[in-house]
Amino acid sequence: MAATVATPVTPTELDPDRCGSEEESRGAEAEEESTQQQIGPAAAVSHSRLSKLPLARIKALMKTDPDVSLASQESVFIIAKATELFVEMIAKDALVYAQQGKRKTLQRKDLDNAIEAIDEFAFLEGTLD
């Protein structure tokens, strides 16, 4: 009976459907490293930033509520991320109405139309008045 040896499989960044040689993958890795060296550490940090909104300002807004005395970093981050996703969702829905009007710029009426048409935004009805 033959013995089988299990070898750990490490995930790669290459697409498994794509057939490429090891030389191509080494070349791509070297190219990424040289690009990061040219950009510098300051630019690399900005790409790894997880939140687009200023966390200090969100924390200050949270503390304006009299029920909130302390806010952990995790809770501030979650609120920031939820806000980003909410703004992205309503902007995409409003963009549909702007494109129907053959415009690229969102207007207030596009937001109003999105709020009226989508049930998830029902709590916002009348807030833009």
What average pLDDT does this structure show over 17-31? 46
Q: Which pLDDT belongs to residue 126?
A: 86
Band (pLDDT 50/70/90 cuts) for residue 45 is: very low
Helical H runs in the chain?
Answer: 22-39, 41-47, 55-63, 73-100, 108-117
Q: Which pLDDT belongs to residue 36?
A: 47
Q: Which pLDDT belongs to residue 86?
A: 95
Say how many C-beta atoms besides its own lie within 10 A of residue 17's C-beta.
5
Among 93, 89, 98, 87, CA closest to 116: 93
Q: Which of residues 88 and 49 earns the better pLDDT score?
A: 88
Query: What does the pLDDT look like over 70-125, one tens digit per residue?
Result: 999 999 999 999 999 999 999 999 999 999 999 999 999 999 999 999 999 999 99
Residue 15 has pLDDT above 80, yes or no: no
Q: Which pLDDT belongs to residue 123?
A: 93
Comparing 10-19, 44-53, 77-86, the range with the smallest average pLDDT is 10-19
